[in-house]
Structure formats: structure tokens, C-alpha cells
Amino acid sequence: MTRQEEAAVLAVVRSIPSGRVATYGQVAREAGLGRRARFVGRVMARLGGSSGVPWHRVVRAGGEIAFAPGSEEYRKQRALLESEGVTFQGRRIDMLRCGWQASLDELLWGPPPA
């Protein structure tokens, strides 16, 4: 929609700490978009990847990567996540360990950089 909402989405995604992931719906809520999870997906798609935004930390509900398993993008995203310490179980991310929860975030990992 507007640049502002897009910026809000990017800000939320940037605030996801390394080694953890958030779902599209979660990002949408954090950005004040309510249930516009698809909008988050659209913003990610438009980024292209070289925007300094950790797009790979955004996954679908349930902790599954949004891309088709085996696809180029899927493998890239998974590789990036695993390099940050995110653990997978099959094609799902262990959300209990790596899922991002803002409140729990500060308790376990300390306050985010910004």
C-alpha cells in the first residue's frame, strides 16, 4: 500500500534478531497491518534481496519456508537461516527455539540493536 506501511514492514523485519524467524502474519501485526500477511509477502518479493533486509527470517505460519522445497530460493533461504543457527526439522523450522516473540526476545536474547 503506502510507502509508510512498507517501511513499517521493513522495520519489523530488520528488528528480527539473527538466529530467529517470524511469520508473515506476525510481521504484519507488528507493523500494524493487522491480517494483511500477503502484503508482507508482496513487499518481500519486491525487495529483490539486496536491500539490507533479512528477508530470509520471514517464513509462513508454522515455520515453513514460503518457497517450494528444492527451489533455488528455498535452498538459499534455508542456507542463510542455518548459517545463523536456525534449526530445521524436516522442512519446518523449530519455532519453539527459533521463533521470534518480541516479549520473550528481550528476556532471552537481550534488547535488539534498534
Partner DNA sequence: GTCTTGACTAAGC
Partner DNA sequence: GGCTTAGCCAAGA
Residue appearing with cell numbers 542456507: 79
Nearer to DNA, 72 or 110 (CB): 72
Q: Minimum distance from CB of 111 to DNA (Å)?
A: 25
Burial of 35 (0-12, 13-18, 19+ CB in 10 A): exposed
Dist CA 9 CA 24 (whole Å) = 10
Q: Minimum distance from CB of 24 to DNA (Å)?
A: 3
Nearer to DNA, 73 or 84 (CB): 73
Q: Minimum distance from CB of 109 to DNA (Å)?
A: 22
